[in-house]
Amino acid sequence: MKVVLEHLTKKFPNRNKKIKEDVVAVSDFTFEIPDGKLIGLLGPSGCGKSTTLNLISGLEAPTSGRIYFGEEDVTDISPENRDIGLVFQNYALYPHLTVEQNIIFPLQNLKGDKKMTKQQMKEKALETAKLVQIDPYMSRKPSELSGGQQQRVAIARALVKLPKVLLLDEPLSNLDARLRLQTREEIRRIQRETGITTIFVTHDQEEAMSISDEIVVMKDGLLQQIGKPQAVYDHPVNMFVAKFLGTPPINIFRGEIKSKQLYIGDDRICETDHGDMQVYVGIRPEGVILKKGGSLVCRLNRVEVMGRDTSACCSNDNAVSESIRFIIPSDEMTGDEGDLVAFDIKPSKLHLFDAETENVII
Amino acid sequence: MKKNNLKAWLYLLPAILFLGAFMVYPLIDVLVYSFEEGFNFASQEYYGVGTYNYSYILHDTYFIQALKNTFILVIITVPISTGLALLISVALNSIKPLRNIFQTVFFLPYVTNTLAVGLVFMVLFKKTAYSDGLINLLINAFGFSSVDFIDGPYWAKILVTCIYTIWIVMPFKILILTSALAGVDEQYYKAAKVDGTSKWRIFRKITLPMISPMIFYLVITGFIGAFKAYADEVALFGTDLNAAGMNTLVGYVYDMLYGDSGGYPSFASAAALVLFTIVLTITVINLMVSKKKVHY
């Protein structure tokens, strides 16, 4: 089932009643989520991603705009009739019910010809529990499970009705780092096996990039960019997206284009087709080659060994942030702390942004 | 470890001393009195030791009446007041405008003096040769003849006592339950909503289990409180409850202790112990039921 959002806007009245102006949580969202894909809604906290999820689930009504599931307009349909599964950030498992009772709960609400016998419910619950690999713990209470197991129960409960759309709100934020890695692959696997269109919200770009078919980057209620993770990473539309994606983050320098040449300070970086202007230059950490006589000269402050790679922490007077970081393969790393080192920059890892609008210059 | 223990005991000592002198010792004393026949406070003498005191009170018609009154009161008021309080709390919890006003209104009886409320109830329910109370005027309006609730038939007096008791115990229960309801995480309701759970099922399967510890607390304290009823009856019917036929167990104990200039401490002690046994039994049964039904 594809999900289409059309000019979706959600405004909340301001908490401070003296301010008449509404808070715009989601502003004019238009995009289409293809059938059977896993989509990551990504953005810093307060960017409206959870609101978007609530709008899709029907827990919140949009101020304006329409939502379609497939061809059907569901904007005015209440959540229980939208055929969705929702997994909450802290799972919201009913603490007084066992795992099995939790998973069966949605089935017991079914009415009319969808109504199931007790035996059918049990079988269905077991089947779903097996899918998320929680079946050995059916008779436990949620408090007797680890965070990761609780997460699986929550997903099982959301999946048991075979929803058209599965929505996950920050599904991994309550797990520790190792479980997070494991669980995100689990989510990926479950999504592949069921083929249910899945939308999940996260503020962790790594999480979103690693398992999503497509990511939607948001900021302040505005859609920034939508696309395949690699495509968004390689071709960010503005400086915000470039900075938000990637760990370590992209390095930003103040630069200038003068007579078809790009300069950072006095260093001439490369040739360009653009006219004279002030720009921001974004260089991905992995986008440089350490080379004597390279175009960009920085002071090497510290070398962090990470095994396969080395992280070179440098400083440059024209960098926006105090410290900049490049990833260099360990065997290519030379130079001592305090030295001036020179880098050549890979053209594909270099992004130019207009100094005023911060939009990318192609 | 041992040293710590010693210190802990030292800190507990004042409380233990006080509790021992003013709680444990009197309790044991009551137990002793209840087996000493014809004990007299002034002379500190008694005739003999045995179970005569118990046999006397169990054959005393006033005691039987008090027992009956108390049980009727408990059985009627505890479930009704708890149920009503639950209903009102859920209703309060589901409205937004005027919630605070209603909360205040429902809490008013709690801050009002029992005797003052009793006076109001008497005015409402009474019937004299010259005038009818408001309730009787209502009854008349429906074409029935007046009933004297304060000095009339037994059922009328019990009815008024039950209404009065329920009215006076509800505010506290509403207060406890509204705060318990407010403490239930909103996400459970959202999750249930997405699953299309009906309102009744949400209430039965989510709300009730979530606030069950508080309901259980109210039932236990409600039972204990109702068994200890006395002041409410005095407020309605005056101090001579035996004459009114509306005495309670505590009232019986009080009358035995101070009635007839000098009193019968042995009978009073026996009656107090009977009351204690009943309350203990009910509480244990409550605890056993709660193990199965209450989710913590």
Q: Domain end: A228, A244, A260, which one?
A: A244
Tell whether A184 and A71 lie within a shared domain: yes
Asked whether residue B1 carries a pLDDT value surpassing 60, the answer given is no
Tell whether A308 and A194 lie within a shared domain: no
Band the pLDDT of A339: cuts 50, 70, 90.
Answer: confident
pLDDT score recorded for residue A242: 93
Locate the chain A residue with the closest alpha carbon to B187.
Answer: A92
Test B196 with A106 for CB contact under 8 angstroms: yes
Q: Which residues of A fall within a CB distance of 8 Å from B206?
A: 94
Tens of pLDDT, residues A267-286: 888 888 888 889 999 999 99
DSSP 3-state assignment of A217? strand
Q: Which residues of B fall within a CB distance of 8 Å from A161?
A: 195
Residue A96 in contact with partner chain B when CB distance is under 8 A: yes
How is chain A split among helix, strand and coil, in percent rounded to 5?
A: 30, 35, 35
Q: Which residues of A fall within a CB distance of 8 Å from B183?
A: none
Tell whether A202 and A266 lie within a shared domain: no
Tell whether A229 and A347 lie within a shared domain: no
Tell whether A83 and A196 lie within a shared domain: yes
Q: Is residue B52 part of a domain?
A: no
Tens of pLDDT, residues A311-327: 999 999 889 988 899 99
Total domain count, chain B = 1
Q: Which residues of B fall within a CB distance of 8 Å from A94?
A: 188, 205-206, 209
Tens of pLDDT, residues B30-86: 898 889 887 777 777 788 888 888 998 899 999 999 999 999 999 999 999 999 999
- Those of residues 5-34 in A touching chain B at CB distance below 8 A are none
Q: Which residues of B fall within a CB distance of 8 Å from A88?
A: 187, 190-191
Asked whether residue B296 carries a pLDDT value surpassing 70, the answer given is no
Test B190 with A59 for CB contact under 8 angstroms: yes
CATH number at residue A187: 3.40.50.300
Residue A154 domain boundaries? 3-244
Tell whether A276 and A234 lie within a shared domain: no
The token duo for A257 is 């284009």
Q: Which residues of B fall within a CB distance of 8 Å from A80?
A: 193-197
| H-run or E-run covering A251 | strand A251-258
Q: Domain end: A213, A244, A275, which one?
A: A244
The proportion of chain B whose per-residue pLDDT surpasses 90, expressed as a percent, equals 38
Total domain count, chain A = 2
Residue A59 in contact with partner chain B when CB distance is under 8 A: yes
Test A94 with B190 for CB contact under 8 angstroms: no
Residue A361 in contact with partner chain B when CB distance is under 8 A: no
Test B195 with A57 for CB contact under 8 angstroms: no
ipTM of the complex: 0.78
Tens of pLDDT, residues A228-261: 999 999 999 999 999 999 888 999 999 999 888 8
Residue A296 pairs in a beta bridge with A343
CA of B103 to nearest chain A CA: how many angstroms apart?
24
Please tell me which residue, B136 or B222, carries the higher pLDDT value.
B222
Test A86 with B210 for CB contact under 8 angstroms: no
- Integer Cα distance of B282 and B30 in angstroms: 21
Residue A85 in contact with partner chain B when CB distance is under 8 A: yes
Tens of pLDDT, residues A289-302: 888 888 888 999 98
pLDDT score recorded for residue B93: 87
Tell whether A234 and A283 lie within a shared domain: no
Q: What number is the average pLDDT over the span B237-260? A: 85
Q: Is residue B244 part of a domain?
A: yes
pLDDT score recorded for residue B262: 64
CB A196, CB A43: distance < 8 Å:
no
CB B154, CB B245: distance < 8 Å:
yes
Residue A61 in contact with partner chain B when CB distance is under 8 A: no
Locate the chain B residue with the closest alpha carbon to A87.
Answer: B191
Q: What number is the average pLDDT over the span A91-106? A: 91
Tell whether A134 and A197 lie within a shared domain: yes
Q: Which residues of A fall within a CB distance of 8 Å from B197?
A: 80, 105, 109
Test A105 with B190 for CB contact under 8 angstroms: no
Helices (H), chain A: 49-57, 99-108, 118-131, 147-159, 177-194, 205-211, 229-234, 239-244
Tens of pLDDT, residues A108-152: 888 877 788 889 899 999 999 988 888 899 999 999 998 888 988
Residue B165 domain boundaries? 61-293
Tens of pLDDT, residues B83-124: 999 999 999 888 878 888 888 888 888 888 888 888 888 888
Q: Is residue B29 part of a domain?
A: no
- Write down the pTM of the prediction: 0.78
Q: What number is the average pLDDT over the span A217-229? A: 91
Q: What number is the average pLDDT over the span A72-79? A: 90
Residue A77 in contact with partner chain B when CB distance is under 8 A: no
Residue A88 in contact with partner chain B when CB distance is under 8 A: yes
pLDDT score recorded for residue B3: 64
Q: Is residue B43 part of a domain?
A: no
Q: Which residues of B fall within a CB distance of 8 Å from A108?
A: 201
CB-closest option in A57, A96, A97 to B194? A57
DSSP β-ladder status, A267-271 and A296-305: unpaired
CA of A312 to nearest chain B CA: how many angstroms apart?
45
Tell whether A193 and A66 lie within a shared domain: yes
Tell whether A196 and A265 lie within a shared domain: no
DSSP notation for B77-138: HHHHHHHHHHHHHHHHHH--TTHHHHHHHHHHHHHS-HHHHHHHHHHHH-B-SS-B-HHHHH
pLDDT score recorded for residue B176: 92
CB-closest option in A84, A96, A110 to B194? A84
CB A98, CB A104: distance < 8 Å:
no
Q: Is residue B205 part of a domain?
A: yes
Test B195 with A59 for CB contact under 8 angstroms: no
CATH number at residue B284: 1.10.3720.10
Please tell me which residue, A312 or B128, carries the higher pLDDT value.
A312
Tell whether A264 and A161 lie within a shared domain: no
Asked whether residue A63 carries a pLDDT value surpassing 80, the answer given is yes
Q: Domain end: A244, A275, A305, which one?
A: A244
Please tell me which residue, A14 or B296, carries the higher pLDDT value.
A14
The proportion of chain A whose per-residue pLDDT surpasses 90, expressed as a percent, equals 30
Test A94 with B187 for CB contact under 8 angstroms: no
Question: Best residue in B195, B216, B294, B295 to probe A by mutation, most A CBs within 10 Å?
Answer: B195
CB B268, CB B253: distance < 8 Å:
yes
Tell whether A203 and A291 lie within a shared domain: no
pLDDT score recorded for residue B2: 62
| H-run or E-run covering A33 | strand A23-33
Residue A254 pairs in a beta bridge with A280
A16: left (phi over 0), alpha (psi -120 to 50) or beta: beta
pLDDT score recorded for residue B261: 61
Test A96 with B198 for CB contact under 8 angstroms: no
Test B185 with A92 for CB contact under 8 angstroms: yes
Question: Best residue in A84, A101, A109, A167 to probe B by mutation, most B CBs within 10 Å?
Answer: A109
Residues of chain B in Cβ contact (below 8 Å) with chain A? 185, 187-188, 190-198, 201, 205-206, 209-210, 212, 295
Test A85 with B196 for CB contact under 8 angstroms: no
CB-closest option in A86, A92, A110 to B188? A92
Q: Is residue B82 part of a domain?
A: yes
Tens of pLDDT, residues B19-42: 999 999 999 988 988 898 877 777
Q: Is residue B65 part of a domain?
A: yes
In this structure, the number of other CB atoms found within 10 A of the CB of residue A171 comes to 25
